[in-house]
Amino acid sequence: MHEKLKLAALRAMIPRMPFNKTLGMRVARAHKDGVTIEIPLREELMNVAGVLHGGVTATIADAAVGVAIWHHFGGRRRATTTELKINYFRPIERGKVVARSRLLRVGKHLVVGSVEITDADGNSAGFATVTYMLLDAAPAHRGG
Amino acid sequence: MHEKLKLAALRAMIPRMPFNKTLGMRVARAHKDGVTIEIPLREELMNVAGVLHGGVTATIADAAVGVAIWHHFGGRRRATTTELKINYFRPIERGKVVARSRLLRVGKHLVVGSVEITDADGNSAGFATVTYMLLDAAPAHRGG
Amino acid sequence: MHEKLKLAALRAMIPRMPFNKTLGMRVARAHKDGVTIEIPLREELMNVAGVLHGGVTATIADAAVGVAIWHHFGGRRRATTTELKINYFRPIERGKVVARSRLLRVGKHLVVGSVEITDADGNSAGFATVTYMLLDAAPAHRGG
Amino acid sequence: MHEKLKLAALRAMIPRMPFNKTLGMRVARAHKDGVTIEIPLREELMNVAGVLHGGVTATIADAAVGVAIWHHFGGRRRATTTELKINYFRPIERGKVVARSRLLRVGKHLVVGSVEITDADGNSAGFATVTYMLLDAAPAHRGG
């Protein structure tokens, strides 16, 4: 149907998204049905309890589905998050947080993806479901 | 039952929570049933489309319920987020994002709060529901 | 913009929705921003523990937003549920379950509503958020 | 750690849960990490549009995780739903609705499961995440 963006192209997206860059997000792998994204832990991302702030985890879940949609459409469709649901299973204290997204449903208007959140050792740390709405069939980025 | 922490005390919490400090979060008001928190927009918090990243909005929703719980218990109970759900209504492009939390249910183990998200002009921009689990009746912070 | 359906018209909807009729659902009131719906408890709706099944509560939350949308558009737009999130605060053991919906956002494509769930004594029993997608601007019902 | 309840025992649970019996729910299979449950469609379960009511789908998702917990603990722990999130992908018009649950996290207090919803032909029709709270280590049913 269309060519998939290469991993290099996916990786080049992050610096163009200021908040994802602020968090130090990195695309680790592209899969057939989604992507794997990571954020190395550092002091500025922590909560009062010395663990990763849940807002960082929510952000990586949101981004993991967003990048998967970019990947799926070869960058040709713009989309915006309409809702996000996340369950936190255990705190992440060191190393990195890893988000593996899978597109569950690509509809005419809505795309839904699931995200498995793990720590650096592969322990399950959370699970999210994210919905994006596809916008008009405009180019995927401004000024591109 | 116990004395409420004063607004000054609530405000002093933020610098002790590194990621909330990273985002520039500020407690604006304490209410009987919750709190109002704000984050001024700046470039590092934006998404590719020139609008506030949804992860920042999720983070302020999470924090708005967390600070409300702190407020409710006068800082005497620790709590951790177990799940969060957020709906995004419209993008926020400038000014600030404002989160007004309300505690809907304070149970023995779980606390549930709702959060109304607005922009600087008071337009509704989203809505969240956040669940925290109360941890053992330990002091609200380590070594504080 | 259009005339609101009268309460009688809203009430006449329920018998046309088989599962809502199966549950014994009844529109109690129409408000400016939503509706109040009730289901009297009876044995067939209970769970193993002698309390109302959470699935009934989820169903009334879904319907409370659906009927509010019908009310809002005067029955002129069809809509379908795209996602629902519900928190359960306490079990309901007798009397009835009451759902009060409020439309939080009426967008071009999506409508989001919140629902407060209470028991017969007005005690808070749960809280839901429901998203509907508006379908093509067709008549609100088939063959009507 | 304990013996798993046999499929026959799981199946015997449903008639003891009045609302699940009302819906005609049936345990189809027990898996290592969850269960598969089905409800045959019939007129009383439909919505106005001639499709399965989303409340039935939410109910089967809730039950699929509840039965999986029963299965996991060999019926020795009681649990109650604290929250449920569901996304609907496409309507179900005939045959049956099938729910396959997987326990994602079994914590000290909370258990989280995911549920894939499919139609009779195996098409994906929705996805849910359900949280249960484990109650005191009491017998799994009253009068047992």
List pLDDT tens digits, range C38-57: 999 999 999 988 899 999 99
By the CB < 8 Å criterion, does B46 face chain D? no
Q: 3-state class of A11 per DSSP?
A: helix
φ, ψ (nearest 5 deg) of residue C114: -105, 155
Please report which confidence band the pLDDT of residue C5 belongs to, taking 50, 70 and 90 as the band edges: low
A107 CB near a chain D CB, below 8 Å?
yes
**Which residues of chain D lie closer than 8 angstroms to B110, CB-CB?**
82, 133
Asked if B82 has any chain D CB less than 8 Å from its own CB, the reply is: yes
Query: How many CB atoms sit inside 10 A of residue C120's CB?
Result: 15
Best probe of the C interface among B105, B108, B114, by most C CBs < 10 A, is B105
Under the banding of pLDDT at 50, 70 and 90, the label for residue B4 is low
User: What is the structure's pLDDT at B14?
Assistant: 87
Q: Provide the 3-class DSSP secondary structure of residue C40.
A: strand
Q: Is the pLDDT of residue D137 over 70?
A: no
- The owner of tokens 């759902």 is C99
- pLDDT given for residue A137 in this prediction: 59
Nearest to A64 by CA among A22, A16, A89, A97: A97
Domain boundaries, chain D: 7-134
Contact criterion met (CB < 8 Å) for C133 and A109: yes
Q: What is the ipTM of this complex?
A: 0.90
C-alpha B100: how far from its chain's center? 8
What pLDDT sits at residue B137? 59
- Tokens matching residue C135: 């379908």
Q: How far apart are the first and last CA of chain D?
A: 21
Quickly name the fold that domain C7-134 has. Answer: Thiol Ester Dehydrase; Chain A (3.10.129)
D131: chain A residues, CB-CB within 8 Å: 87
pTM reported for the whole predicted model: 0.92
Among A20-24, D82-86, D97-101, which is the least confidently predicted range? A20-24
Residue B27's CB is within 10 A of a number of other CB atoms, namely 23
Min Cα separation C131/chain A (Å): 9
Verify whether the Cβ–Cβ distance D131 to B83 is below 8 Å.
yes
Residues D17, C50: Cα–Cα separation, whole Å: 9
Instruction: Spell out which residues of chain B touch residue D85, defining contact as CB-CB under 8 Å.
Output: 85
Rounded CA gap, C64 and A128, in Å?
26
In this prediction, residues A107-124 reach a mean pLDDT of 97
Q: Is the pLDDT of residue B66 over 50?
A: yes
Give tens-digit pLDDT for B98-133: 999 999 999 999 999 999 999 999 999 999 999 999
pLDDT at residue A138 in the model = 44
Percent residues over pLDDT 90 in chain D:
80
